Every structure is written in C-alpha cells, then in structure tokens.
Chains A and B, each alone.
Chain A
Amino acid sequence: MNILQVQNLEVVYNDVVLVLKGLSLDVASGSITTLLGANGAGKSTTLKAVSGLLAGENGKVTSGSVLYDGADTVRLSPEKLVRAGVFQVMEGRRIFEDLTVEENLRCGAYTQPARLFAHNAEKVYSYFPRLRERRHQLAGYMSGGEQQMLAIGRAVMACPKLLLLDEPSLGLAPLLVEEIFDIVRRINATEGVSVLLVEQNARMALSLADYGYIMENGRIVMDGKGEDLLRNPDVQEFYLGLGHGGEKRSYHDVKHYRRRKRWLG
C-alpha cells in the first residue's frame, strides 16, 4: 500500500520553465523513501508539488497526478493538505525567528486541537531535550542544529501521516546530521509517519532509507532499495565519490560524463 503516488508529474514555473518532466515515484506506507539528485534537478519542486506550496512561487502542475491516500491532491491548498496529514519541512529550516521556541511549536500545532498541545509538545521535547531547555528563548538566537530540530519538532506537532523533509542536513556538522537522521528514524518508527526525504548527503540518506530514487533534470533516472543503490557502481561513482575499486576518484578524472550521458536520453 502506497501512501503517496506521483505519476508523470510535470511542473512549469512562470509558464515557461519546465522543471519536472514526467516524474513518477511512490512512497510506501510507513517507509522512509529518499529522493537524491544534484542541485537544480527538481527535488524541492517535487516536494512542493506534493505539499501544495508551488502556487506561492508561480509554479503550476501542468500534467500528471499526485495521489495521497488514493485521492488526487494537486488542486488542494497547503492548509487543506496539512489538515489531511501532509507536512513539509522546508529547505533552510525556515523557523520564525521573532517567535520563541514554544510559539514556533504552536504554529506547527495550528491545525491541531488546542487540548493536544501539551501532550504533543512533551513528545517533541522528549525527541529533542535541547528544545525544552530553550523553549522560552527566541528561535532566531539558536544554532543551526537546534533550528533544524525545531523545524522537525514543528512537523511532529502537526501529527502528519506523510512527512516531507527537504535537506535536513543542510549546513550541519556531520555529528549533528547523524543525530538528526537518527531522530527521523525514531519518528518514523514510533509515530508511524511515512517519510519522503530529499537529500544531498547520499550516503546518509541511502543508509537510512528503505527505498531510494535518483533524479536528474526533472526525471527519475534510477531507483531501488536503499542498500542496493548504495552498492550500485554508478551511484558510488557519481554520488558517493568512489571509483570502481572503492577508492576516491580524482577531480581530474574526466571520464564522468560518459556514464552520466547514458542516463539523460
């Protein structure tokens, strides 16, 4: 059973720029699925098409469908989608810096009944004890890692069924990335939330994910189970920086383009 099915999705920005060129992917219920790709491949656009946030950026779904829980959600507003259980943690954390940590969490809980707030906040604080210490502090004064925790904490407050994470590792130290990914795994396991994770950090994402998609230029070029993709020579070469023997490739190696070309057609 798939909680999300994206079929032949095409997205155009400003009526001219075609960013997604018939993208299809599935997220199985209860799984963590990752979507990898280079900058500008259309990963964030895919997430925004699912969460309904495209309209604010002059983007439009021109063909294809997004089925969430079996129903087409392409025309739904972001508010309705959040209420239905689709929550996107946007790239770059996007916390409300003028608000305190707890007020940020209340924004996350906006669609939930007020009586659940204390219980859900307790849940967030148990995942991220550091947020409890800082709950009355202005969110803008927190470190990048804490802000990312807050961004994910806000998502937990909304009790989503499908969590869309856009580059949670952005700008964080490796140790912190590991901590964040660990918590994503715990949230996935204990809350039963399905996760669609967009990442640049391919190794981390693939070791976490049940299933992975690799996209290039607005299309999916490869997909498979997380561990299979990790072992795939193409993925190792282009996303993990390893040569065929497992050693690091030199920057001077100019053969890159050949294999890459095969994917484009």
Chain B
Amino acid sequence: MEYYLQLIINGLVVGSIYSLVALGFVIIFKATKVVNFAQGELVMVGAYICFALTVQFQLPFLASFLLTLVFSIVLATVVERLILRPLIGEPIISVIMVTIGLSSMLKSFVQMVWGTQIQVFPAILPQEPYMLLGLPIAPVYVAAFGLSALLFGVFSLFFKYSSLGIAMRATAFDQQAAQSMGIGIKSIFALSWCIAAVVSSIGGIILGNINGINAQLGHLGLKVFPAVILGGLDSLLGAALGGLIIGVLENICEGAAKDLFGLGGFKEVASFLILVVILMVKPYGLFGTKEIERV
C-alpha cells in the first residue's frame, strides 16, 4: 500500500510538471491554433540555460532562474517573429512541420553546446525529507508541486481579470472580431509564445533539479500530448488535471507492472495507451470545446 502511495505522490509531482508544460501548449493552441511540437524542447532549453548559468557561470540559483526566464522570453519572441509570424494564414500542416523542424534545431543546438551526458544540478533545497502520512517526501518535490499550483493560480487570475488575459481569450475565439476591437493580435501571438516558453522553462528547471538533465528531456513534449488531449486541447483546467492524471497513471502503471508481472519500462508507453483509450471514448477530452462539423 505504501508503495502505491509513494507512486501516487511521485506521479503528482511529475504530473504537475506535465501540467505546466501542457499549460504552455494550451496557451499557444488557444491563441494561435498552432500545435507546437517544440514544446518539449522549450523545456529542455530552459533547463540547460539555467544549468549553464548556475554551474558554469556560478551565479546564485535565484539569479540564474530569473535570467533563464528572461532568456525564454527573448527566445520565444525571436521564434515567433522569425518563424511563425510569416506563416500566419498558411495551411496548418506547414506550421506543424515548422514546429517539428524547430524542435530538432533546438535539440541539436543543446547537444552541440552541452553534449549528450546527463548533467546534474547542484542541490538547492535541503535534502532532509519531510514526512507526510508516514512517507518521506523530498523538499524539491514539495517545491515543484507548490510552484506549479502557484503558476496555475496566477494564470487563472490573469485570464479571468486582466484586460490582456481577456483580450487573449477573445482573440482565441474570433481573431478578426478581436482586431476590430483594436486588439493587436500579433502582439497577442507573441505574448502567448512568451508565456508558453516561460512556463516550460520553469518546468524544465524543476525537472532538472529532480532528475538531472540530458538531451532526452525534450521527449517530455511528447508526454504532454496525452495530458492535453485528455484535458481537452483548449482548456487550462483540462491541462492542469490532464497533466496530474497522466503523471499519476503512468507511475501507477509502471509500479503495478513491476510489482505484479516483473515488467520494466512500462512508464514510457503507459501514457500513450491511455491516450488511445481517451481518443476512443472522449475525443474532445474532459473539458475541450466540442465542435460541430457538418460533412
């Protein structure tokens, strides 16, 4: 029993990171209708930049954390400006291919600079675990979960109450009508890429602190697909819950497979098995907008 409880807690922590990355994915999809296959690479780049600043440049962690966020904003602006803006109005398949290309470029760039070895962040939080229900939990896990929850809270308020957030939702609903209100949709697109890059970097930094980083970190982007599809592609709440559910389920599947059948490596496929089931049962996800298509 304790074994499974531990799995659930691990799942929640990993899931909260999935949620963060899914949040970025959903924001881009909502505002610009672009399916961003480079989301995982944004996570990876964020993690490596923070690593470089803390370890190679010996900056204090907080400073390098903030600098990483600044860097993410710059990176997202450049990517949006140079690569995605010229593609506004082009077929969606071209845009998707471009984000796939972008993901390999970012990955190669990271491998070129930092190599393919696993790099380990220096311990920032104390190692002494907290005890929760008799289970030891590392402080970094608590921090990861707390930070994700905090970011979700902040963004929910942002989309509910700030003019800019409301304008982003309006743009997501009807771009031309938003333009007619004087909303600059190009800056809204740029902003959504910036937010996506920032939350992904935060996810990457947290993950780096837990597991260390290597060039395979970008695969996280693929794990996010089951999460967003479960939640519904255009729902923030869906992204949050989808991430947590996928995180927990894949951990439990892994644990159960090992425990009952002695099989390993089930974690990698579990989330995609779940994905297939979701698509069969609930193709719009838990909270996604149902569209009526007439043929």
Q: Which residues of A contact B (CB under 8 A)?
A: 51, 53, 56-57, 77-79, 81-83, 87-90, 94-99, 103-104, 106-111, 114, 154, 158
Pairwise interchain contact B182-A94, C-beta atoms closer than 8 A: no
Which residues of the partner chain A approach B167 to less than 8 Å between Cβ atoms? 107, 110
Pairwise interchain contact B177-A94, C-beta atoms closer than 8 A: yes
Pairwise interchain contact A78-B180, C-beta atoms closer than 8 A: yes
Within 8 A of A (CB), among B170-194: 170, 172-184
Pairwise interchain contact A79-B177, C-beta atoms closer than 8 A: no
Q: 16 additional contacts, CB 8 Å, given A78-B180, A90-B176, A96-B174?
A: A53-B176, A78-B182, A81-B182, A83-B182, A87-B180, A87-B182, A94-B177, A96-B169, A98-B169, A98-B172, A99-B170, A103-B166, A107-B166, A108-B181, A114-B163, A158-B182
Max chain A C-beta neighbours (<10 A), residue from B180, B182, B183, B184 = B180
Which residues of the partner chain B approach A96 to less than 8 Å between Cβ atoms? 169-170, 173-174, 177-178
> SS class of chain B's interface: helix, strand, loop or mixed?
helix
Q: Given A106-B166, A107-B166, A110-B167, answer yes or no on A99-B181 (Cβ-Cβ < 8 Å).
A: no
Question: From residue B29, how far is it (CB to closest CB) to chain A in Å?
Answer: 15
Which residues of the partner chain B approach A53 to less than 8 Å between Cβ atoms? 176, 179-180
What are 6 sample pairs from A and B whose C-beta atoms fall under 8 A apart?
A96-B178, A98-B169, A98-B173, A99-B173, A103-B166, A103-B169
Instruction: State which of B169, B174, B182 has its C-beta within 8 Å of the C-beta of A79.
Output: B182
Bound Cα distance from A110 to B179, whole angstroms:
11
Instruction: State which of A90, A99, A103, A107 has its C-beta within 8 Å of the C-beta of B183.
Output: A107
CB closest chain-B residue, reference A154: B181
Question: From residue A198, how far is it (CB to closest CB) to chain B in Å?
Answer: 14
Instruction: State which of B172, B173, B176 has its C-beta within 8 Å of the C-beta of A56.
Output: B176
Within 8 A of A (CB), among B134-180: 163, 166-167, 169-170, 172-180
Bound Cα distance from A19 to B176, whole angstroms:
20
Question: From residue A257, how far is it (CB to closest CB) to chain B in Å?
Answer: 36
Question: From residue A68, how far is it (CB to closest CB) to chain B in Å?
Answer: 15
CB closest chain-A residue, reference B172: A98
Report the interface size class on chain B: 10 to 19
Bound Cα distance from A26 to B178, whole angstroms:
27
Which residues of the partner chain B approach A98 to less than 8 Å between Cβ atoms? 169, 172-173
Bound Cα distance from A89 to B167, whole angstroms:
17
Q: Given A106-B166, A114-B163, answer yes or no on A77-B177 (Cβ-Cβ < 8 Å).
A: no
Which residues of the partner chain B approach A82 to less than 8 Å between Cβ atoms? 180-182
Bound Cα distance from A143 to B13, whole angstroms:
45
Which residues of the partner chain A approach B177 to less than 8 Å between Cβ atoms? 90, 94-96
Question: From residue B135, how far is it (CB to closest CB) to chain A in Å?
Answer: 41
Which residues of the partner chain A approach B178 to less than 8 Å between Cβ atoms? 96, 107
Max chain A C-beta neighbours (<10 A), residue from B166, B175, B184 = B166
Pairwise interchain contact B163-A110, C-beta atoms closer than 8 A: yes
Question: From residue B230, how far is it (CB to closest CB) to chain A in Å?
Answer: 21
Instruction: State which of A78, A97, A106 has its C-beta within 8 Å of the C-beta of B179.
Output: A78
CB closest chain-A residue, reference B187: A79
The 7 tightest CB contacts between A and B, nearest first, are A82-B182, A94-B177, A111-B182, A79-B184, A107-B170, A78-B179, A96-B170
Which residues of the partner chain B approach A106 to less than 8 Å between Cβ atoms? 163, 166
Bound Cα distance from A56 to B175, whole angstroms:
9
Which residues of the partner chain A approach B170 to less than 8 Å between Cβ atoms? 96, 99, 103-104, 107
Bound Cα distance from A83 to B169, whole angstroms:
21
Pairwise interchain contact A99-B166, C-beta atoms closer than 8 A: yes
Which residues of the partner chain A approach B179 to less than 8 Å between Cβ atoms? 53, 56, 78-79
Which residues of the partner chain B approach A81 to less than 8 Å between Cβ atoms? 182
Pairwise interchain contact A77-B184, C-beta atoms closer than 8 A: yes
Which residues of the partner chain B approach A57 to less than 8 Å between Cβ atoms? 176
Which residues of the partner chain A approach B173 to less than 8 Å between Cβ atoms? 96-99
CB closest chain-A residue, reference B234: A98
Question: From residue B16, how far is it (CB to closest CB) to chain A in Å?
Answer: 26
